[in-house]
Amino acid sequence: MKVIVTGGLGFIGSHTVVELWNSGFEPVIVDNLSNSNESVLSQLNELTGKQTTCYKIDCTEVDMLREIIREEKPEGIIHFAAHKAVGESVKEPLKYYGNNVNSTLVLINLMREIGIKNLIFSSSCTVYGEPDSIPVTEQNRRKKATSPYGNTKAICEDIIENSVHAYQCLRATSLRYFNPIGAHPSGLIGELPLGVPNNLVPYITQTAVGKRPKLTVFGNDYDTADGTCVRDFIHVVDLAQAHVAALNFLISSKSESLYEVFNIGTGSGNSVLELIQCFEEVNSVKLNYEFGSRREGDIEKIYGCADKARAILGWKSNKTLQEALADAYRWERRLLESN
């Protein structure tokens, strides 16, 4: 069974391609290389022992995408392709709305037109904003997004939900990811941030190998046990496996049309400082860091309840924070050696 994976050369997309092959699917990548590297494809081929088909096109190119979908006849589509830098989205909102929303519209229109039923959408816990209660469940209300990036996730969720109900020919899930970290244990694929990383773990690994002089911890005066923010850090391989579980759920569903939202997290939180200490311990390194001021728009404390995914998808996270941080560091060292 073929599955189209948009953004399949990206961080979460590439790990999902591996897990799809491992589960007997044939992933077909569509990626415009805007925030990914062609070398990922050869790494994927080495890791899986398979030749993954990859179309280098943009998901807003409707005619080309139509041809690809008609040709490949996929059982479903997993839609990762999106811009994801929160800060950049504030400076260039039209880039974010233009790409993230348009690509989703193009895909849904083509799915209706061609008769492809199953869609998995990459959403984010950012839709919960600063939550009223934690762990957040899918019943927590969504809050107004603090960035255009976050807003594109909420808008795309709505577009998909409305389309499912109106046209009755789609089965879709939105997976709300918490904080994906780590890399494949093989050391062959991982995160490849362009320029200075915005996210915590790539910043840590780059500091640990000497690529950055120092990590700044954004704020230690939050109302948490050690004053630093709390997040639900999930290993990217666990997250990738959630997509396979969601796909199996959609494919085996008897309904003509359905829409479900799932939190994809570990169910518990760790503070930024705990994560740093764990990183130092598991990798036997000392990290150069200092405390700085808070970063605008940061949420104090969030972690998710993943019981719904466990009950309905039969999925739960298995890997530990230690494994994720060992894998992330292995990947960073490998990058250093290969450059």
The residue (of 84 and 117) whose beta carbon lies closer to ligand UD1 is 84
Least distance in angstroms from the C-beta of 328 to ligand UD1: 12
Burial 45-68 (b: 16+ CB within 10 A, else e): eebbeeebbbbebbbbbbeebeeb
Least distance in angstroms from the C-beta of 145 to ligand UD1: 8
The residue (of 96 and 203) whose beta carbon lies closer to ligand UD1 is 203
Question: Can residue 124 be called a binding residue for ligand UD1 (CB under 6 A)?
Answer: yes
Count, residues near ligand UD1 per rule CB under 6 A? 23
Per-residue interface string for the shown chain with ligand UD1, residues 296-335, x marking contact by CB under 6 A: -xxx------------------------------------
The residue (of 185 and 227) whose beta carbon lies closer to ligand UD1 is 227
The residue (of 146 and 248) whose beta carbon lies closer to ligand UD1 is 146
Question: Can residue 21 be called a binding residue for ligand UD1 (CB under 6 A)?
Answer: no
The residue (of 258 and 324) whose beta carbon lies closer to ligand UD1 is 324
Residue from 55, 149, 259, 303 carrying the catalytic annotation = 149
**Residue 167 appears among annotated catalytic residues:** no
Q: Report the distance separating Cα 254 and Cα 46, nearest Å.
A: 37
Least distance in angstroms from the C-beta of 236 to ligand UD1: 11
CB 37 within 8 A of CB 15: no
The residue (of 27 and 148) whose beta carbon lies closer to ligand UD1 is 148
Question: Can residue 97 be called a binding residue for ligand UD1 (CB under 6 A)?
Answer: no
Contacts of 337 (CB under 8 A, 6+ apart): none
Question: Can residue 86 be called a binding residue for ligand UD1 (CB under 6 A)?
Answer: yes
Least distance in angstroms from the C-beta of 193 to ligand UD1: 10
Question: Can residue 82 be called a binding residue for ligand UD1 (CB under 6 A)?
Answer: no
The edge-to-edge listing of strands for the beta sheet with 26-30 is 53-55, 26-30, 2-6, 76-79, 118-124, 171-177, 258-264
Q: Report the distance separating Cα 109 and Cα 91, nearest Å.
A: 29
CB 6 within 8 A of CB 78: yes
Q: Report the distance separating Cα 212 and Cα 190, nearest Å.
A: 18
Q: Is the dihedral of CA 126, 129, 131, 132 positive or negative?
A: negative
Question: Can residue 277 be called a binding residue for ligand UD1 (CB under 6 A)?
Answer: no
Least distance in angstroms from the C-beta of 90 to ligand UD1: 10
Rule CB under 6 A: choose which of 118, 147, 151, 173 binds ligand UD1.
147
Residues that bind ligand UD1 (CB under 6 A): 84, 86, 124, 126, 146-147, 150, 179, 198-200, 203, 215-218, 229, 231, 272, 295, 297-299
